[in-house]
Each structure stands twice: as structure tokens, then as C-alpha cells.
């Protein structure tokens, strides 16, 4: 694919309204090939998920205490932006959990302990004492979840009843009594819990401590039977999820093999970039082979599930990065996870920590919030085989459109200097078609992927596609402000989330992917068998 240096008057580009400035910029051509014959994987309709954690304000790392009052125990659930932000997804999955979930006692009246809050204590596991969830708070949270239309995954206290051995491992069986009381309480109150998840990061070598796979498997079976018992007579029962930890092939295989019939969803966590103190983070993220690094985890887990008798599916239960430029990585991983059969992807966090979708103090959405919302709005269940030919700096993912006709292509440009003109080609049972070329566009002869006959007006509408261009303000990847089609995305003074609206582009034009930009292109007129 040829690359040429061009003197470009930006004022002639209809996509960008930065005024007339002349910049030296490179242009390159590239092609996306999509196989529309069959889907390669499918995701949940509500693929996007975010977490709410337990960390108290005293939790600090590398000199910053980033949690503020974003804990399940003290988050201001009456905040208007928070409500609107969750509502906008209709629905957003929310996973309630994190490190301290395993040390929470539910104050359901059967425990011998007073309901005391987490207290910082360096000599205890995770540097905090045991904590407690008072039922009035649980009631309040559930009122919020219902109002916001959220789908709830609750992480249960998997360390309850175990003791920590001298080698640091947690031994003994999980005591399910307290969890069962919470589940029963929730059922009696009519709270709708989509899934109960057992434990957080206790798999493999664990974080802080670990539990052996065989023991974990019998604890999962125990949770399954507790849930079956409490929800007896219910038409649909909550899903059973585990282990919410870091992927370890041997450990995961043993858990999966031993929980066939009890475990519905296998969760794993992803933090590729480490603790955020690495000064080369931006370079890392912009490196395609670095982004590909996570592929092995996805494909290894897929292999384990494919080869086991289990019918369990995979989710990413928690993933986050400590820096804002990670928006590129976030969307890339949503794309990659989908390709490997991941059904749901939970982002750490909705709010709190350094990496929330919402700002911890103002609740104002961060750039990743809007990326997630756009994904949720556009990317349908079926994942299409999608390959890009041209520069290695373009990442490409294709899905059937969500609640709409046609397909959606997600393109991410990791290059800060080059605009890539992307042409789209679809593989169908009949032949290959290139959609951006005028003459082929005019003579739809193939059996599939055709422009449907219809009224003049329909044909007129079908000759365009809808594009959503996301860029960082002033091209600064560290900016907390993101632009959609050149306009700043922001909540208004009543705390309303802006509508994410596309621009319309003629199909004969290539998709122009500006430097460091992300483009979602929805092409309603491309009808492929996989999306019908």
C-alpha cells in the first residue's frame, strides 16, 4: 500500500472543523476484508460491563489514594450523572466486587461479629481488616440498580471460613452460610441478581493469597447447590460465576473440568500494563505486537472451554489500565475479546481508582465511557472475521450492526502522523465485493451483500454510511476530553449524557482514519448472511 506525503488543507475536510490550518500529513491506503458468510463468535447483547469495588478512601498506591468515596459502601448513588451514565446503556452490567469482597461479612443477622467497617491494618491480608455490608445499604444500592436498569453480578466472600497457611495459601472449605443468608435476603426482597460470583483473584498464584483449584471447584459446586436451593421454583435462576482471577492454564483447566454442570461463566482479569509507573506506557500501547500480547490468554481459555465437557462461557471479569491513553487499548481489547468468544467484558471500574469510566469526584464521564457507550450502541452480537491489509498500525474489528441492518467496522489508528484511507471489501458466498469503489457499488450482482431493491428514497439512503470519529482534544492522548466528529463530548448542566450522533458519508468515499483516531463505521447497506 503506497504511502505519500501530502500537503493538506484541513479546511477542505468536511469531517474536521478545526478551521483552516495547513499541516504536513501522510496519507496511506489500506483495505479491510470482512468475511460475511458466517460469524466467528458471538457476544452478549449487554457485552459492556463495569465494576464497583469495596476499597475505602484509605486505600492508597504509589502515593495516591484514588478511591475517594467510590466504594460500594459510600458511593453517592443519588448523583444525577451517575444515574444517567448507567441508564444510557440500558442495560449496563455491573460487577460488584474486587479484592476486599472476600473479606466482607453481610450483616444479615446470623453472624457473630458486629458490623464493622474496613480498617487499614498493614499486618492483615490486603492491609485491611474484615469489613461489613449493612442491609440498609444493600437495600439502597438495589434501589439504585433498579432505577438505573443495571444488570447485577455480585462477588461473594470466598475467603469466609478459610485460614491462611504459613505458605500464604488459603486452606479449608468456603463457609457458604453467610453468603446463603445474603442470597436468601435478596430473594425475599425481590432483588434481581443476574449472577453470583465466587471469589476474587484467588486463582493460580493468587493476589495476596490463593486457593487450590480442586478446593475451589468444590466451593463452586457448593454455591451452585445453595443457589438451586434458594431459587427453587424460579423459572430462571442466576448464573454461577468463578473464579474472577488471573488466567493460569493448569488451574483454570482443573476448575473447569471439575465444575461441569455447576459453573456457567468463567471469568478472568486483565491488567497488561502493570501498575502505571512505567514511563514507556504510551509507546507500549501504540505498538501492535504489544496489543496482540493478550491474544494468548483469550485463545488458551477458549481452548480449555472448547475441549471440556462444560457448557460454561468466558467473560473478562475485570480489566483496567491506569492511564487515559488506554482508551485505544480498551477498545482494542473489546474487539479482541469478542473474537475469542468472550461474552461480557467488565471494566475496572465504573467509578473509583485511577481508571474509572467516570471521574471519582465529579462523576463526569472519561473518554473510555464514551467509547464503551458507542460500542454498546453499535456493535451487535455476531463477530465477523475481519482482516486489515496495509499498515500494521491499523487495528480492525467487524460485527453485525446492533438492532439495525448491515455491519459495523471499528478501526483504530495507532499512528500519530498518518491518515489511513480504508477501503472495505466483503467476502460472500458468491464473490468478493469492494464497497468503496464507484463502479462496483453501482452494479450489485452478487447474491449476498447486495444493495436491496426498493424505493428511490431507500436506495438514496443506502448509498451512505454512518461514521463516528473519536479523537483526543488537540491530538493529546493524555487529554481527558474527547471529540466525536470534531465536537466535544460533555454532559450538560443538568447532568445529561450527550447523544452520540454520526456523520453521513457517501459510500464511494474510503473511511478516513485520522492519526490517533478511532472510527466506528456503520454500513447499513452491506447485508451479509452472517447478519441476517
Ligand X SMILES: *[C@@H]1O[C@H](CO)[C@@H](O)[C@H](O)[C@H]1NC(C)=O
Q: What's the rounded Cα separation, in Å, for the pair 441 and 439? A: 5
Out of 28, 197, 222, 318, which one is annotated catalytic? 318
181 contacts: CB under 8 Å, gap ≥ 6: 106, 108, 109, 110
One residue of 111, 218, 299, 446 binding ligand X per CB under 6 A: 111
C-alpha cell, 360: 471519582
CB nearer to ligand X: pick between 110 and 278: 110
Active site residue 29: no
Q: What's the rounded Cα separation, in Å, for the pair 173 and 161? A: 7
Q: Count Cβ atoms within 10 A of the Cβ of residue 315 and give its class: 0-12 exposed, 13-18 middle, 19 or more buried.
A: buried
CB nearer to ligand X: pick between 416 and 486: 416
Active site residue 318: yes
CB of 177 to ligand X, least distance (A): 4
CB of 192 to ligand X, least distance (A): 25
Determine if 175 is a binding residue for ligand X (CB under 6 A): yes
For residue 306, give the nearest of 251, 385, 253 by alpha carbon: 253
One residue of 416, 444, 486, 529 binding ligand X per CB under 6 A: 416
One residue of 16, 28, 31, 33 binding ligand X per CB under 6 A: 33
Dihedral sign (CA 65, 70, 73, 75): positive
CB of 417 to ligand X, least distance (A): 4
- Residues 424-443 touching ligand X, rule: CB under 6 A, are 427
For residue 340, give the nearest of 365, 361, 313, 317 by alpha carbon: 313
CB of 494 to ligand X, least distance (A): 4
CB 324 within 8 A of CB 275: no
CB nearer to ligand X: pick between 178 and 267: 178
- Residues 469-498 touching ligand X, rule: CB under 6 A, are 492-494, 496
CB of 110 to ligand X, least distance (A): 5
CB 197 within 8 A of CB 97: yes
**Crossing angle between the packed helical segments 249-258 and 295-307, to the nearest 10 degrees:** 30
C-alpha cell, 276: 502505571
Binding residues with ligand X: total (CB under 6 A): 22
> CA 171: distance to chain centroid?
33
CB of 19 to ligand X, least distance (A): 21
CB nearer to ligand X: pick between 385 and 479: 385
One residue of 417, 431, 438, 461 binding ligand X per CB under 6 A: 417
CB nearer to ligand X: pick between 308 and 419: 419
- Residues 387-406 touching ligand X, rule: CB under 6 A, are 387
CB of 233 to ligand X, least distance (A): 25
Region binding ligand X by CB under 6 A among candidate stretches 28-36, 49-57, 220-228, 429-437: 28-36
Region binding ligand X by CB under 6 A among candidate stretches 118-126, 311-319, 330-338, 466-474: 118-126
Out of 28, 201, 321, 427, which one is annotated catalytic? 201
Phi, psi angle pair for 464, to nearest 5°: -125, 165
CB 49 within 8 A of CB 93: yes
CB nearer to ligand X: pick between 35 and 53: 35
C-alpha cell, 49: 460491563
CB 403 within 8 A of CB 381: no
CB 153 within 8 A of CB 199: no
Widest pairwise Cα distance in the chain: 77
457 contacts: CB under 8 Å, gap ≥ 6: none
Region binding ligand X by CB under 6 A among candidate stretches 74-82, 119-127, 267-275, 348-356: 119-127
Residues recognised as catalytic: 201, 318
Q: Which residues bind to ligand X, rule: CB under 6 A?
A: 33-35, 110-111, 119, 121, 123-124, 161, 175, 177-178, 385, 387, 416-417, 427, 492-494, 496
Amino acid at each position: 500500500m503506497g504511502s505519500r506525503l501530502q500537503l493538506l488543507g484541513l479546511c477542505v475536510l468536511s469531517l474536521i472543523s478545526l478551521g483552516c490550518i495547513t499541516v504536513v500529513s501522510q496519507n496511506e491506503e489500506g483495505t479491510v476484508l470482512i468475511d460475511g458468510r458466517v460469524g466467528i463468535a458471538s457476544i452478549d447483547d449487554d457485552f459492556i460491563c463495569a465494576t464497583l469495588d469495596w476499597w475505602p478512601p484509605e486505600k492508597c498506591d504509589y502515593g495516591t489514594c484514588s478511591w475517594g468515596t467510590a466504594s460500594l459502601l459510600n458511593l453517592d448513588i443519588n448523583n444525577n450523572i451517575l444515574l444517567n451514565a448507567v441508564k444510557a446503556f440500558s442495560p449496563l452490567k455491573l460487577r460488584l466486587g474486587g479484592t476486599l469482597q472476600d473479606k466482607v461479612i453481610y450483616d444479615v443477622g446470623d453472624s457473630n461479629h458486629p458490623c464493622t467497617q474496613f480498617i487499614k491494618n498493614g499486618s492483615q491480608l490486603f492491609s485491611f481488616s474484615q469489613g461489613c455490608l449493612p442491609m440498609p445499604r444493600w437495600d439502597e444500592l438495589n434501589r439504585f440498580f433498579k432505577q438505573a436498569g443495571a444488570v447485577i453480578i455480585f462477588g461473594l466472600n470466598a475467603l469466609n471460613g478459610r485460614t491462611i497457611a504459613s505458605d500464604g495459601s488459603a486452606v479449608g472449605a468456603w463457609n457458604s452460610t453467610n453468603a446463603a443468608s445474603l442470597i436468601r435476603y435478596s430473594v425475599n426482597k425481590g432483588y434481581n441478581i443476574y449472577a453470583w460470583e465466587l471469589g476474587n483473584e484467588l486463582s493460580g498464584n493468587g493476589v495476596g493469597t490463593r486457593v487450590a483449584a480442586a478446593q475451589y471447584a468444590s466451593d463452586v459446586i457448593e454455591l451452585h447447590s445453595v443457589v438451586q436451593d434458594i431459587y427453587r421454583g424460579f423459572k430462571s435462576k442466576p448464573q454461577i460465576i468463578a473464579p474472577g482471577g488471573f488466567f493460569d492454564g493448569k488451574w483454570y483447566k482443573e476448575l473447569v473440568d471439575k465444575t461441569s454442570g455447576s459453573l456457567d461463566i468463567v471469568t478472568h482479569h486483565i491488567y497488561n500494563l502493570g501498575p502505571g509507573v512505567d514511563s514507556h506506557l504510551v509507546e507500549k500501547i501504540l505498538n501492535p505486537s504489544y496489543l496482540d500480547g493478550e491474544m494468548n490468554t483469550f485463545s488458551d481459555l477458549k481452548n480449555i472451554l472448547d475441549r471440556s465437557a462444560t457448557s460454561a462461557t468466558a467473560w473478562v471479569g475485570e480489566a483496567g489500565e491506569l492511564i487515559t491513553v488506554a482508551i485505544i487499548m480498551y477498545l482494542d481489547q473489546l474487539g479482541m475479546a469478542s473474537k475469542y468468544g468472550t461474552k461480557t467484558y467488565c471494566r475496572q471500574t465504573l467509578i473509583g481508582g485511577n481508571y474509572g469510566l467516570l471521574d471519582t469526584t465529579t462523576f463526569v464521564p472519561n473518554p473510555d465511557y464514551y467509547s464503551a457507550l458507542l460500542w454498546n450502541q453499535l456493535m451487535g452480537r455476531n463477530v465477523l472475521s475481519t482482516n486489515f491489509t496495509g499498515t500494521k498500525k491499523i487495528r480492525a474489528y467487524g460485527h453485525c450492526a446492533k438492532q439495525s441492518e448491515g455491519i459495523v467496522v471499528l478501526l483504530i489508528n495507532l499512528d500519530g502522523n498518518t491518515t489511513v484511507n480504508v477501503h472495505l471489501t466483503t467476502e460472500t458466498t458468491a464473490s468478493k465485493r469492494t464497497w468503496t469503489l464507484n463502479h462496483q457499488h453501482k452494479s450489485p450482482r452478487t447474491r449476498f451483500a447486495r444493495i436491496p431493491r426498493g424505493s428511490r428514497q431507500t436506495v438514496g439512503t443506502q448509498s451512505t454510511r454512518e461514521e463516528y470519529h473519536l479523537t483526543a482534544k488537540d491530538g493529546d492522548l493524555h487529554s481527558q476530553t474527547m471529540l466525536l466528529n470534531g465536537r466535544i463530548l460533555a454532559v450538560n448542566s443538568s447532568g445529561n449524557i450527550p447523544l452520540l450522533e454520526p456523520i453521513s458519508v457517501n459510500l464511494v468515499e474510503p473511511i478516513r482514519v485520522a492519526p490517533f483516531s478511532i472510527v466506528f463505521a456503520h454500513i447499513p447497506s452491506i447485508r451479509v448472511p452472517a447478519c441476517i
